[in-house]
A and B are shown apart, each in its own frame.
Chain A
Amino acid sequence: MNARRAVRGLSLHAVVWLIGAFVAVPLVYAVVSGFKSTGELTTNPFGLPARWKIGNYTGILGDAMFWRQIANSTLIAVGTACCTVGAAAMAAFVLARYAFRGRELFYALFTIGLMFPFTVAVLPLFLMLRTFGLLDNPLGVILPQAAFGLPMTIVILRGFFRTIPAEIEEAAVMDGCGRFRFFWTILLPMARPALGTVSVLAVVASWNNFFLPLLVFTGPEWQTIPVGVQQFQGQYSTDYALVLAYVVLAMVPALAFYAVAERQLIGGLTAGATKG
Chain B
Amino acid sequence: MSTPTAERTREAVPARPPAPVRRLPRGGADWVSLAWFLLPALVLFCVFVLAPIAVAVYTGFFTWGGIGPMDDFAGFGNYTRLFGDEVFLGDLGRGLYLIVLSVTVQLPFALLTAVLLNQRLRGRAVYRTLFFAPYILSEVVTAVLFTMIFLPGAGMADHLAGLLGLEGLRGRWLADPSTVMPTLFTVMVWKYFGFHMMLFLAGLQGIPAEVLEAASLDGAGAWQRFRHVTLPLLGPTIRISVFLSIIGSIQLFDLVWVMTAGGPNHSSETMAIAMFQFGFKRYQVGYASAISVVLFMISLVFSLLYQRYVLRRDLSGAVTTGGGR
Asked whether, in the complex, the Cβ of A99 is within 8 Å of the Cβ of B292, the reply is: no
Whether, in the assembled complex, A254 has its beta carbon less than 8 Å from a beta carbon of chain B, the answer is yes
- Complex Cα–Cα for A61 and B159 (A): 30
Known: A123-B275, A127-B66, A165-B20. A26 touches B190 (CB 8 A): yes
Known: A99-B23, A106-B38. A115 touches B299 (CB 8 A): yes
Chain A interface size band reads 35 or more
Whether, in the assembled complex, B214 has its beta carbon less than 8 Å from a beta carbon of chain A, the answer is no
Whether, in the assembled complex, A57 has its beta carbon less than 8 Å from a beta carbon of chain B, the answer is no
Whether, in the assembled complex, A273 has its beta carbon less than 8 Å from a beta carbon of chain B, the answer is yes
Partner of B138, one of A119, A148, A226, A243: A226
Asked whether, in the complex, the Cβ of B148 is within 8 Å of the Cβ of A100, the reply is: no
Whether, in the assembled complex, B102 has its beta carbon less than 8 Å from a beta carbon of chain A, the answer is no
- Complex Cα–Cα for A128 and B301 (A): 26
Asked whether, in the complex, the Cβ of A150 is within 8 Å of the Cβ of B21, the reply is: no
- Complex Cα–Cα for A85 and B155 (A): 43
Known: A26-B190, A173-B7. A110 touches B45 (CB 8 A): yes
Interface residues on chain B, number (Cβ under 8 Å):
97
| Interface SS, A side | helix
- Complex Cα–Cα for A143 and B16 (A): 35
Which residues of B (115-153) have their CB < 8 Å from a CB of A? 116-117, 119, 121, 127, 129-134, 136-141, 144-149, 151, 153
Minimal beta-carbon separation of A184 from chain B (angstroms): 11
Asked whether, in the complex, the Cβ of B44 is within 8 Å of the Cβ of A117, the reply is: no
Known: A12-B116, A24-B130. A121 touches B53 (CB 8 A): yes
Q: List 15 A-B contacts (CB under 8 A).
A: A16-B113, A19-B116, A23-B134, A26-B190, A45-B154, A120-B292, A123-B275, A148-B48, A154-B41, A164-B20, A170-B10, A251-B137, A255-B137, A266-B198, A274-B240
Q: Which residues of A contact B (CB under 8 A)?
A: 12-13, 15-16, 19-20, 22-27, 29-30, 33, 38, 41-42, 45-46, 83, 86-88, 90-91, 93-101, 106, 109-110, 113, 115-128, 143-144, 146-148, 150-151, 154, 162-166, 169-170, 173-174, 176, 178-180, 183, 204, 207-208, 210-211, 215, 225-227, 229-230, 233, 240, 243-244, 247, 250-251, 254-255, 257-258, 262, 265-266, 269-270, 273-274, 276
